[in-house]
Amino acid sequence: MGQLEGKTAVILGAATKGNIAQVTARLFAQEGATVMVAGRHEDVLAELAEEIGGHYALCDISSHEQVHALADKAKADMGRVDAAINTTGWGLLAGFLEITQDELDRITDLQFKGVHHFLQAFVRVMSEQDPTGGSLISLSSATTKALLNNHAAYIASKRAGEAMIECIANDYGHLGIKANTVSPAFTHSPMTEGAFATPGIVDAFLPRYPLGRLNTSEDVAHACLWLCSDNAFVTGQNIQPNGGVTLRGNPQAIDIQASVEAAMAKLEGS
């Protein structure tokens, strides 16, 4: 029997093929859960839902109305919500003095207000269902512990999401609601294809991982699986399935530049 047999889960941010949300949705379905995937692109969501025998819904996390409608639809379609996972994010890289007001508004809407919408909607549903309870997860980032240059708005808004998770864990634990953060590091995914293809980038990051490799989407999915299972007596925590990068810290811009320049010089000389 799977670890999530008989449970239901909502995974928001699954509208890009092969991303962390899609990997997590497939794993949850394999472990027995009925899964609703959500995001902004219907064709991708419908294809995944059919593949895993689940449900899908359109939802933009920056919209209060859409997120609350998602929570209501999940309860109506699946009977209850045992787990809800927010995987959305925008990896804005911009110098602190160069960040525009439009960029600041966008990342705040997504990574602060959006997380608030998500937690509010699913705490409401989980506190109303019988029996009450469930597991809430919002993906953050190892960069909130291991800083990167030119990432201030991203890191600050992700840290705000971590604080909200702690507050939910403290305020609603008596209803059986668990709330935790999961923090990947530099993960190979559709969003990072360009970075991984750039010579020298991975070389700059790899020595910072005590376990000797970068984390994968599967590593993140399995952390979420454990937290949503009955085996995890855990709440209000920031789980780091990233090979220990927070022990050594991420490379800084000067380190990355040097690594890229060395790799390019090697290629030009070969």
Q: How do residues 9-40 score in pLDDT, each as one tens digit?
A: 999 999 999 999 999 999 999 999 999 999 99
pLDDT per residue over 140-156, tens digit each?
999 999 999 999 999 99
Domain-wise residue ranges, the chain: 8-193+213-248
Above pLDDT 70, what percent of the chain?
A: 100
For residue 119, the model assigns a pLDDT of: 98
For residue 266, the model assigns a pLDDT of: 85
Measure the CA–CA gap between 113 and 61, rounded to whole angstroms: 8
Question: pLDDT class for 256, splitting at 50, 70, 90?
Answer: very high
Dihedral sign (CA 70, 76, 77, 79): positive
pLDDT per residue over 53-102, tens digit each?
999 999 999 999 999 999 999 999 999 999 999 999 999 999 999 999 99
Measure the CA–CA gap between 163 and 44, rounded to whole angstroms: 32
204 in Cβ contact with 162 (< 8 Å): no
pLDDT at 270 over 80: no
Mean of per-residue pLDDT scores for the chain: 96
Helix or strand or coil: residue 216?
coil
Least confident of 170-184, 224-238, 248-262: 248-262
For residue 179, the model assigns a pLDDT of: 98
* Across 169-175, average pLDDT: 98
pLDDT at 195 over 90: no
Architecture per CATH, domain 8-193+213-248, reads as: 3-Layer(aba) Sandwich (3.40)
For residue 72, the model assigns a pLDDT of: 98
* Across 127-150, average pLDDT: 97
172 in Cβ contact with 164 (< 8 Å): no
For residue 62, the model assigns a pLDDT of: 98
pTM of structure = 0.96
For residue 207, the model assigns a pLDDT of: 96
Measure the CA–CA gap between 175 and 242, rounded to whole angstroms: 30
For residue 106, the model assigns a pLDDT of: 97
- Residue 251 C-alpha from the chain's centroid: 22
| Residue 19 buriedness (CB in 10 A; 0-12 / 13-18 / 19+) | buried
For residue 5, the model assigns a pLDDT of: 97
pLDDT at 43 over 80: yes
Above pLDDT 90, what percent of the chain?
A: 91
For residue 269, the model assigns a pLDDT of: 79
